[in-house]
Amino acid sequence: MDTPRTPGSTRLDGGPRGAELLDDPVRNRGTAFTEDERARLGLHGLLPPHVEGLDEQAARAYEAYGLKDDDLERHIYLRALQDTNEVLFYRLLLDHIEEMTPIVYTPVVAKACERFSHIYRRPRGLFVSYPMRDAIPTLLANRPNREVDVIVVTDGERILGIGDQGAGGLGIPIGKLSLYTLIGGIRPERTLPIVLDVGTNNAERLEDPEYLGWRHERIGGEDYFDFIDQFVGAVERELPGVCLQWEDFATPHARPILERYRDRLLTFNDDIQGTAAVALGALLGAIGVTGKRLRDQQIVFLGAGSAAVGVADYLRAALVQDGLSEAEARGRFWMVDKDGLLHAGRPDLTPDQRVYAQPEDRVAGRPRTSRGAVGLADVIGRVEATVLIGLSTVGGAFAEPIVREMARKVDRPVIFPLSNPTARSEASPEDLIRWTGGRALVATGSPYPPVRHEGRTIPIAQCNNVFIFPAVGLGVVATGARRVTDAMMLAAARALGGQSPALADPNGSLLPALRDIRAVARAIAEAVGAEAQRAGLAPQTTPEELRARVAAAQWTPGYPQA
């Protein structure tokens, strides 16, 4: 495990005392308050007499955790611990990072959002509700901690794969920020989860007598964007320089919000940019394993929605960085959606999709499906595809003949079925490995167990944005960057790809293990900071100083001597 670098919680003296101190999750040390602290801070009598160390506290907390018998109960236990003693919470998470990350974050956090109103115990973060729209600066001023480095905000409309959760969506910013601290080392008291409660169209929530959000259908249109504008304006005034991460907004809102604010403040959209960066990182790792150049790839996508276009945009930028012209890079993409290959003759394409339309003369003469479209099997039959990416949500779409045909022509086919949840995955890793005689390099969107093949155990990397956003946060906080650019995201993806265990170990995963993720986050943060400096978006330092700043900014839970 990591050695502590910047241990500790906030200073004790000058803050609350007595029972009030025990009620402050940032400063509370519970049974670990020393005799001297107990005397100084008016705690004698309020705590059992035995003084524990953090190790003992963590062991006791783990024992209590072990008594819970379902995942939602485990989540509730950990959230309660977070609201009691943050140092202990993060120490427990660090000690059991592989076991507990899925409990505080995806997938269990989805259940916590659905059940938000029913499992609600204590407030955390901010509820910015539409009826309070004229008082947003006041709500922000009421935040529990003055200094904030990172905000994660959602409007709860498209939570993970479970849709509109209204105010219950707050569970996602809470979970994401826990990982900002656990992995990126952003100090817990400098994070702020926010839900923009603009109503919900989820009938179950609206009819639930216990629903805690604003009981109203969603605000839309101009009113919605005006509200977002009021919120952003208030954030700029109250918390200038804060990193503002947009999370789980519905597609029609996500992109316009990003475009509107990305050049105005330090902000990014995790679902668009973070997800694309992690997919690119895993791809770069895989292509590194094949021993081929990025510029030599032919890339086929199944699915051409916003997630697919986001991944393609980053991949295209990486192809250009690798020496291709813009036109050559575009020509490497074969995108297929439910109406077949994207080509210049299709009238239905959005401007974002049109970038990837193949010229008609490259399509002419290809066999067509009965509906006249060029399908995935046709494309794989004609193109020497080296990379196949699925973001189609069509379960099983990477059928055996398609995969076998691809593997007939290339030695190490790179195949990423990225759709969620598992039932929508374009193929199972086990089938992909079997159909390709163990040659496929696979990463997925859903979690899968390792695959056994001819005596090997092949771990399956899950492309989740957790590999990117905490590290990007660490990079911008450590360097004082003013913007999050796509070039910084590409730098993050490259650094992640460079850390792929598969590069050194033929049986390694394409993405790092969670137990190594804090060290990986520092490497990514340095790359992000260096790109910000190169672009003039952060104060210049030497590379050594950059490295030292990143290391110093990564908080590790501990109780410093007061």
Ligand X SMILES: O=C([O-])CC(=O)C(=O)O
The nearer residue to Mg ion, 271 or 337, going by C-beta atoms, is 271
For 468-480, give one letter per residue: b (16+ CB within 10 A) or e. bbbbbbbbbbbbb
**462 interacts with, out of ligand X, Mg ion, none, CB within 5 to 8 A per kind:** none
Shortest reach from residue 78's CB to ligand X, in Å: 17
User: For residues 445 and 450, what is the distance between their CA atoms, to the nearest angstrom?
Assistant: 14
271 lines the binding site for ligand X (CB under 6 A): yes
200 to each of 44, 129, 154, 171, 252, how far by Cα in Å?
A: 48, 12, 13, 15, 16
Residues 110-148 as b or e (16 or more Cβ within 10 Å = b)? bbbbbbbbebeeeebbbbbbbeebeebeebbeebeeeeb
Instruction: Pull the structure tokens for residue 527.
Output: 């790359």
Q: Is residue 271 part of an annotated ligand binding site? A: yes
User: What is the C-alpha separation between 13 and 32, in angstroms, rounded?
Assistant: 16
**Which helix or strand (DSSP H or E) is residue 402 part of?**
helix 400-409
CB of 167 to ligand X, least distance (A): 17
Residue 270 interacts with ligand X (CB under 6 A): yes or no: yes
> Minimum distance between the CB of residue 521 and ligand X, rounded to whole angstroms?
16
> Residue 179: which of 496, 444, 551, 474 has the closest Cα?
474
Q: How far is the CB of 444 from ligand X (least distance, A)?
A: 13
Residue 485: name its binding partner from ligand X, Mg ion, none (Cβ under 5 to 8 Å by kind).
Answer: none
Considering the complex, what minimum distance in angstroms separates the CB of residue 426 from ligand X? 17
- Does 106 bind ligand X (CB under 6 A)? Our answer is yes
Residue closest to 342 by CA, chosen among 394, 279, 299, 381: 299
- Residue selected from 248, 378, 431, 531 as contacting ligand X according to rule CB under 6 A: 248
Which sequence positions are flagged as catalytic?
A: 105, 176
What sections of 442-542 are H helices per DSSP?
469-479, 486-498, 517-534
Pick the binder of ligand X from 43, 160, 476, 481 (CB under 6 A): 160
- Looking at beta carbons, which residue is closest to ligand X? 106
Nearer to ligand X, 393 or 465 (CB): 465
197 binds, among Mg ion, ligand X, none (CB under 5 to 8 A by kind): none
Residue 177 or 433 with smaller CB distance to Mg ion: 177
Residue in the structure block whose two tokens are 């105010």:
167
**For residues 114 and 271, which CB has a smaller minimum distance to ligand X in the complex?**
271
Amino acid letter, 496:
L
505 is in an annotated binding site: no
Q: Does 464 bind ligand X (CB under 6 A)?
A: yes
Q: Which does 106 bind (CB under 5 to 8 A by kind): ligand X, Mg ion, none?
A: ligand X
Angle between helices 469-479 and 171-179 (to 10 degrees): 60
> Collapsing DSSP states into helix, strand and coil, what is residue 99?
helix
The total of other beta-carbon atoms located within 10 Å of residue 223's CB is 12
114 vs 248, beta carbon nearer Mg ion: 248
User: What does the H/E/C string look like for 136-193?
Assistant: HHHHHHCCCCCCCCEEEEECCCCCCCCCCCHHHHHHHHHHHHHHHHHHHCCCHHHEEE
Per CB under 6 A, does 149 bind ligand X? no
114 contributes a contact to ligand X by CB under 6 A: no
Nearer to Mg ion, 249 or 448 (CB): 249
Instruction: Write out the residues near Mg ion by the rule CB under 5 A.
Output: 248, 271
Q: Is-contact 414 311, C-beta < 8 A?
A: no
> Residue 297 binds which entry of ligand X, Mg ion, none, with Cβ cut-offs from 5 to 8 Å by kind?
none
Give the CB-side neighbour count of residue 340, counting CA atoms within 13 A. 18
Which of residues 419 and 436 has its CB atom nearest to ligand X in the complex? 419
* Residue 163 Cβ vs Mg ion, minimum distance, rounded to whole Å: 12
- 313 known member of a binding site: no
Q: Which does 386 bind (CB under 5 to 8 A by kind): Mg ion, ligand X, none?
A: none
Tell me whether residue 498 is exposed, middle or buried, using C-beta atoms within 10 angstroms of its C-beta: 0 to 12, 13 to 18, 19 or more.
middle
Binding mask 47-86 for ligand X (x = CB under 6 A): ----------------------------------------
- 465 lies in the binding site for ligand X (CB under 6 A): yes
d(CA 111, CA 248): 15
Spatial distance between the Cα atoms of 192 and 198, rounded to a whole number of angstroms: 19
- Is 208 one of the annotated binding-site residues? no
**CB 464 → Mg ion: shortest distance, Å?**
9
Task: Give 248 or 431: the residue with its C-beta nearer to ligand X.
Answer: 248
**What gap in Å lies between CA 463 and CA 465, rounded to an integer?**
7
Query: CB 440 → ligand X: shortest distance, Å?
Result: 24
The entry of Mg ion, ligand X, none near residue 464 (CB within 5 to 8 angstroms by kind) is: ligand X
Residue list for the binding site: 158, 247-248, 271, 420, 464
Residue list for the binding site for a divalent metal cation: 247-248, 271
Residue list for the binding site for (S)-malate: 158, 420, 464
Q: Which residues bind ligand X (CB under 6 A)?
A: 106, 160, 248, 270-271, 464-465
